[in-house]
Structure 1
């Protein structure tokens, strides 16, 4: 299933939201955060400590499990102020309670140095830059919360200080550090001691300043305790069993428990041990070493539906000599990419583990610039998230860069964009996402402009209740699937219910969407087929099944029961789940879905195609399927057949 994977398997790092905390409270009565007043206790407590022209020492890069804060809330329009270089004001809150976080420290990096601000008892902070221009939000830390600290100078959060302009009501929501209990079991349900466990997040470069433990061994009860953000993959291996993997979902975080069930012993491990490595250097166009570049190793795109290694990939940061070593790889084929902000990436495809001589070259590229405005008023948006995707084929989009900007002028700039075709997507809280297509010609080193206007999105209200009893569920989470946390940074289209189970979602695009719903003590659900119109959508009543004592939370959804990925003109089938409609109809790994109820998937696009495949339980759809090549028939034209598939309820 493609939950939270529309643009690829990426974990959430930091996300821009809106000026109101109400999205976190489901309109449950939380008030707008107030900026600290000049001369007040709050203002003096939160005032930044200037450390101009001092740059923190660069820590030794490490491949670690990511410690991830979640979501930044965009501010309202900029206001005039008397500060010579502008100012930024806001709050740091808990992502789970909406309460202010006292003593959180924010470090901003600018040209020539850094400065910091600390929150007061209400979580308020005030940042007054000592120079105008671009500042990066470099570090955010708070006791009891997951920290944010990418490689110094490589933060994807940009604050632009404009003289005489103040941006208020910025809200950063940090994720509490939750300890999870893991349990490794055999196929018979008995605990397995001595299993090797890894927490895989694929975002090693986002937590370079704060290395955390990512390897464990199960004890005599098969248990281990760990910290892992939502979206992390936990992998367990034991020489007497086949390996197992499980995802840390929101339901996992609520239950604070994760079970990994190993497969039966077949004489050898089903998955070879991950003991291979790749090593090499990253250089610029002149052959000089590039330090601090983020090297990503992922299963080769050309190998799909075969997936090698960790689904989230592996990451490492180059040292002062531009060298890197990525360890723990399984045999297979990988794509290797090196990135550094301001330079175009270097890439090597279909690389086999074991090589130590890789050289990835970073180039100059073009500058992509533009202004984001409110479509109705023409005013610049002071806060938004920008995602740039490389177009590869009619359906496939590969994330190139994702940044968040807080700028009174509504301006963005992205350097190091190589020649190619791109989709530029922009999102801001309360606004429907918008996108535009951009072509960067060959040998372009100048400026390419792409301006974007955002219109107000639709609103959806509803209520989450317990199935059977109809009791309201407080603090249930509702997230728009495929729009909640795509990539390293994005606007969150989600909400938490109030005491009566009520919630409000805003800024939604019109059309069909799916909701991911979860609550403590209940099974999660993906509810599909919800249509959003230009005006207010009819209130939704969402039901969740209660978990019985000792029962592990599951995810319920309705679909065909297959993992799909866009490739060329088709959705190519990866895994097929037993008991699902896809298995019943005879779909197998490698088949390509080219039509859905007569409409080509290239016409629908990937998100709409996925929504069309989902629907009401036991309803049917007709899929035009290009069958996978049978052994010995490679190179021959593949037949396309129409298969009637029944949508089934799937529990995972």
Structure 2
């Protein structure tokens, strides 16, 4: 038991010695940490001498540099320099319903000589020089395509615009509808081209209780229509402007009742009546819309032609197999219900003339520039006055004629023999004025 107590005493002695050693180390450390530290001794600050400061410079950070706009790329080379390297310009023309625009003409607006015609599938091919040009396709009766830049190496599609239309009615002088009549286009001027277009001479028969009509698929431009009905001579509308894809509505044409032309046809030498001679209106319209039936002479040579114009000059043509045909101009009912014209015919000779007319002796036609002299009769007033083929008629008796339909120009140039008429013609940009005396011309 004494040995156990001795061992415990030794352990306690060792433990006390260890604790004392730890205390001797910790107490100085705590004392050093808790004492306040003296302020460090700093050397006196020297003030710098005043100096001129340089202006501040902008800071070019990485973000600011990236935000600066890049330099513009160099312009592309002109189209002429790329044409040699480009292939043909290919594409297609389609109508408003997506069908091939076969026969459409495609041209570069900035170089009209660069053109092509679409094939049966609407495909076209322009030469390499057309690369980058502005192209337009034309295909009546549709409106022209919108101008579009075309390029080689891609399929260029040009879309035609739907044609326009005209809707209206035909009434008599009292405002009542004319239920049946012939309708046709008398003249047409394409919009924007400044040139006269071709005339649709095919008349159509209209039958409608309200007198209404509608013409569809019309090329943009200015139109003049002609209507006629039995007993009612050909009458023209006011000019109607048609736009692509737009209907010109409320066109009203007043078709008046005509007059009656009576007379007798006799042999010029024997004064005997000419039986079964045909008498008909001549050049009242160039459209074919003439519903006035011809008249035949009876056993006394008498005739009665119903439906001639009640006012204004008109002409009639008289035919017979054994006689020279004769055109009688300058007739006028002067607002009355009837007029009279007795006519003499000459027998046909061997190898002689077959037609006799009174006027200036010129054949007229519609061209791209307007009503033009197509030919002159040798020895006639027009030939003697120096008029020639290709002259464009711009004035008749001092009044403008550039907008007159062909039939109106013909009637104004015709007239009784011996009367005078002045005509202004455009010849190569120079206007010439001539005055002629109308005469009988045979051919």
TM-score by length of 1: 0.41
Alpha-carbon contact 2:385-2:436 (below 8 Å) kept: yes
Indicate the SS of the match to 2:298: coil
Alpha-carbon contact 1:395-1:605 (below 8 Å) kept: no
Change (3 A) 1:521 1:448: same
Q: Cα offset for 1:395? A: 10
**What is the aligned partner in structure 2 of residue 375 from structure 1?**
173
Query: Is 1:588 matched up with 2:357?
Result: no
**What is the aligned partner in structure 1 of residue 360 from structure 2?**
560
**What is the aligned partner in structure 1 of residue 96 from structure 2?**
285
Alpha-carbon contact 2:164-2:244 (below 8 Å) kept: no
**What is the aligned partner in structure 2 of residue 428 from structure 1?**
229
Superposed, 1:344-493 pairs within 5 Å as: 344=142, 364-376=162-174, 378-388=175-185, 389-391=187-189, 398-400=198-200, 402-434=203-235, 435-444=237-246, 446=247, 448-483=249-284, 486-487=286-287, 490-492=290-292
1:446-482 superposed Cα distances (whole Å, 9 cap, x missing partner):
5633233322122211121211222222221112111
Alpha-carbon contact 2:292-2:307 (below 8 Å) kept: no
Distance 2:194 2:258 in 1: 27
Q: Cα offset for 1:366? A: 3.3
Change (3 A) 1:422 1:473: same
Select 1:646's aligned residue among 432, 437, 442: 437
**What is the aligned partner in structure 1 of residue 398 from structure 2?**
598
Distance 1:478 1:360 in 2: 53
Alpha-carbon contact 2:360-2:381 (below 8 Å) kept: yes
TM-score by length of 2: 0.58
Q: Cα offset for 1:625? A: 3.9
**What is the aligned partner in structure 1 of residue 346 from structure 2?**
545
Indicate the SS of the match to 1:623: strand
Distance 1:375 1:360 in 2: 47
**What is the aligned partner in structure 2 of residue 51 from structure 1?**
none
Change (3 A) 1:591 1:452: closer
**What is the aligned partner in structure 2 of residue 103 from structure 1?**
none
Superposed, 1:152-171 pairs within 5 Å as: none
Q: Cα offset for 1:521? A: 0.7
1:342-399 superposed Cα distances (whole Å, 9 cap, x missing partner):
x74899xxxxxxxxxxx999753234222322332x4332211112342359995742
Distance 2:161 2:355 in 1: 44
Change (3 A) 1:406 1:514: same
1:198-237 superposed Cα distances (whole Å, 9 cap, x missing partner):
xxxxxxxxxxxxxxxxxxxxxxxxxxxxxxxxxxxxxxxx
Q: Cα offset for 1:512? A: 0.6
**What is the aligned partner in structure 1 of residue 111 from structure 2?**
none
Q: Cα offset for 1:585? A: 1.9
Alpha-carbon contact 1:476-1:496 (below 8 Å) kept: yes
Change (3 A) 1:499 1:362: farther
Indicate the SS of the match to 2:171: strand
Q: Cα offset for 1:587? A: 2.0
Q: Cα offset for 1:579? A: 1.1
**Whose radius of gyration is greater, 1 or 2?**
2
Alpha-carbon contact 2:228-2:289 (below 8 Å) kept: no
Change (3 A) 1:544 1:394: farther
Distance 2:238 2:98 in 1: 35
Alpha-carbon contact 1:483-1:492 (below 8 Å) kept: no
Q: Cα offset for 1:618? A: 4.3
**What is the aligned partner in structure 1 of residue 329 from structure 2?**
528
Superposed, 1:50-199 pairs within 5 Å as: none
Q: Cα offset for 1:534? A: 1.2
Alpha-carbon contact 1:345-1:361 (below 8 Å) kept: no
Q: Cα offset for 1:423? A: 1.6
Q: Cα offset for 1:544? A: 0.9
Q: Cα offset for 1:546? A: 1.1
Q: Cα offset for 1:646? A: 3.2
Structure 2: gaps of 5 or more residues: 1-91, 104-118, 124-137, 146-156
Q: Cα offset for 1:571? A: 4.6
Distance 1:579 1:586 in 2: 11
1:249-275 superposed Cα distances (whole Å, 9 cap, x missing partner):
xxxxxxxxxxxxxxxxxxxxxxxxxxx
Q: Cα offset for 1:538? A: 3.2
Indicate the SS of the match to 1:586: coil
Structure 1: gaps of 5 or more residues: 1-280, 296-317, 324-336, 348-358, 630-636
Change (3 A) 1:598 1:438: closer
Change (3 A) 1:494 1:385: same
Q: Which has the higher contact order (CA 8 A, sep 6+)?
A: 1
